[in-house]
Amino acid sequence: MPVSKVIVFCYLPGETVAVPAGQFTHDSVTGVGSFTYGRRYIERSNALPLDFAALPFGIEPIPVVLNGGLYGAFRDAAPDYWGRLVIASRLQCASEAISEVDYLIEANATRVGNLDFRMSINQIEPTLSPPEFQDLDKLMDVAEALEDGKIVDKNLSIFLEQGSSLGGARPKCTVEYDGDLWLAKFSSKGDSISIPRLEYATMQLATICGLNVPDVKLFTIGERDIFLIKRFDRFANASGWCRSGFMSSLSLAEWDEKDRERWSYLKIAECIRKYALNPGHDMLELFRRIAFNIAVRNNDDHPRNHGFLITREGVELSPLYDVVPSLARVGVGTEFFLAMSIGKQGRLANFDNLCSAATAFGLSDMDAEKITDEVKLVVAKGWKKELVNAGFDQDDIHLLAPSFNTCGCL
């Protein structure tokens, strides 16, 4: 059918069973989606806006054509590239043959955020039963088989299905470990170096730089490395797993994934001023994160890799995730570009360009330069030590050195 009607459910703060929030209607022919809040949901004292930018309370929602006709927070809850690959494998069809609405329905209870999508108001609550840490060995086997295009055990592959934003396109799954939920990220067959080790070392370095970093862990099972990052949108109470609302900065800025020329950190700072509970704090954190991306040559800093947690009163910048240096070659120029514009020179990744936009982040020129100098110093002093702590040998460190030789960091 060209027109699909989906009931959108929301897990409210501290609750482990979702309540119906409204109806989403999607026309696959026109690519237009529309949403209407339910009256009983709006009347709840603890009701949350599902999307702070596109679906605020008190305003009639506007139909959406961005991102395949999905509101931003809905698209954030849909599977990413990896999740789509897993779902397509389970359904034994091409990923392109599955509609956006079907992806919403298919994604399981480990999707990011606090939303769920069901075909009827009476549909049963999806179970959240992630694998335990000891199951990761066989799940990595399944992930490798999926990457090779092989048919895999459906009962195992469902654990690899994942919502977007928190893990990128890499093989991964949510796992229960030590009483909490973690995102386990595996190596990919195309890796020339251990990306789990590199991400772990980079996040340790980010912590030293004063950034808001979730708990992270690094394990090796057999000869395969696993990076674990604690999920900041899930926490347990006596009756189960509670969920926090989540939006990517792509959604908060109401950008389409194809609008790359419009992507700008300055626009994200503007959204923080408009929607955040503590704008000054979040703009300072965002500025420091940009400086860190420059210092470690992370150019995969697209707007889905910056997130916000939703409360009733506003949003707050989520903890850091998906920060990995891009591999550079010895003897090649150090100039590179971030995924979003940062200053007067557009996306050019250097500290002068970042400092040119200091006022957009509520900073004086002096404060901006102080922050960038601090980040440069920490990275220059600590990058090699953190790589050693993560288990890299001297050959790997030599290979990675150009990634940290950025804008005078060394």
For each of the domains in the chain, give its residue range(s) and CATH number, in order of start: 3-118 (no CATH), 133-230 (3.30.200.120), 244-404 (no CATH)
Determine the pLDDT at residue 73.
Answer: 96
d(CA 185, CA 140): 10
State pLDDT tens for residues 209-256.
Answer: 999 999 999 999 988 999 999 999 999 999 899 999 999 999 999 999
Determine the pLDDT at residue 77.
Answer: 93
End-to-end CA distance of the chain: 59
Determine the pLDDT at residue 332.
Answer: 56
Distances (CA, A) of 243 to 45, 165, 166, 237: 18, 15, 14, 11
With a CB cutoff of 8 Å and minimum separation 6, the contacts of 238 are none
State pLDDT tens for residues 174-216.
Answer: 999 999 999 999 998 878 899 999 999 999 999 999 999 999 9
Buried b (16+ CB within 10 A) or exposed e, 74-97: bbbbbbbebbbbbbbbbeeeebee
Strand pairing of 115-118 and 172-177? unpaired
Question: How would you class 39 by CB atoms within 10 Å of its CB: exposed for 0-12, middle for 13-18, buried for 19 or more?
Answer: exposed
Strand pairing of 307-310 and 245-248? antiparallel
State pLDDT tens for residues 288-297.
Answer: 999 999 999 9
Q: Residue 167: pLDDT above 70?
A: no
Q: How far from chain centre, in Å, is Cα 56?
A: 22
Determine the pLDDT at residue 254.
Answer: 97
Indicate if the alpha-carbon torsion angle 37, 39, 45, 46 is positive or negative.
negative
Question: Residue 333: pLDDT band by 50, 70, 90 thresholds?
Answer: low
Determine the pLDDT at residue 165.
Answer: 57
The amino acid at 277: L
Percentage of the chain surpassing pLDDT 70?
95
